[in-house]
């Protein structure tokens, strides 16, 4: 493997750097999304039950048990529950936009890695082919096909290296995009559900009076 890397020449170095960055981001985002697992639906049902019964402190405690962005947004909504549904909706929307930036952090870099790595590999191959044919053209004696083939073979190593990095990066990028989209859906879904509970409570109070 090291022999192939050395055969690839200069362009293998930036490809290696891209692979290290992509791998580090994949590990960090994998750990981030792994920590978000849990039964948010069950906790949310307990939250709305406590909120409807007037136990705002208990509802806030339930929201704190929902790990990650969903819990953060729900706590923001509960914090403004006395300000009316419109303010709650605005507060949750602002907080949701902020936490989604954290959720999506690093994911675009994976897409960039998947695009740049094969291009660097292709560039390395083209440069290698140019150098190989220059050497062949400078030889006055008969050039063996084996010599030409060895030059072309060495030049193609960078393309292999670029694809070797790009394909996993593209797969991981797509996976994390789906995970981020699911988190965004959860934020919108549970936020809307909480807002609906608050509106029903406000209507009940106005009807009672």
Per-domain residue ranges for the chain?
Answer: 2-204
pLDDT tens digits along 84-127: 888 988 999 999 999 999 999 999 999 999 999 999 999 888 88
Q: Model confidence over 160-174: pLDDT tens digits?
A: 899 999 999 999 999
- 19: alpha, beta or left? (left if phi > 0; alpha if psi -120 to 50): alpha
Assigned token pair, 121: 């590999």
pLDDT, residue 206, reads 58
Q: Shortest CA distance to 148 belongs to which of 128, 120, 123, 162? A: 128
Q: pLDDT by residue (tens digit) across 37-76? A: 888 889 998 998 998 888 888 988 898 898 889 999 999 9
Establish how many alpha carbons lie within 13 A of residue 101's alpha carbon, considering only the half-sphere containing its beta carbon. 5
């Amino acid at each position: 493997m090291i022999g192939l890397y050395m055969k690839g020449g200069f362009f293998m170095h930036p490809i290696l750097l891209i692979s290290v960055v992509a791998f580090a981001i994949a590990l960090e985002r994998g750990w981030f999304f792994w920590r978000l697992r849990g039964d948010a639906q069950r906790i949310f049902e307990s939250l709305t039950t406590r909120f409807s019964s007037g136990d705002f402190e208990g509802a806030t405690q339930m929201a704190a048990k929902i790990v990650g962005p969903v819990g953060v947004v729900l706590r923001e909504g509960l914090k403004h529950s006395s300000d009316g549904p419109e303010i709650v909706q605005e507060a949750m929307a602002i907080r949701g936009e902020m936490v989604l930036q954290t959720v999506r952090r690093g994911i675009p870099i994976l897409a960039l890695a998947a695009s740049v790595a094969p291009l660097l590999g292709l560039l390395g191959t083209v440069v290698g082919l140019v150098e190989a044919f220059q050497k062949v053209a400078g030889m006055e004696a008969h050039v063996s096909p084996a010599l030409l083939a060895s030059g072309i073979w060495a030049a193609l190593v960078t393309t292999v290296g670029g694809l070797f990095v790009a394909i996993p990066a593209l797969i991981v990028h797509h996976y994390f995009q789906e995970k981020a989209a699911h988190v965004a859906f959860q934020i919108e879904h549970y936020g809307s559900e909480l807002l609906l509970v608050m509106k029903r409570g406000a209507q009940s109070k106005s009807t009672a009076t």
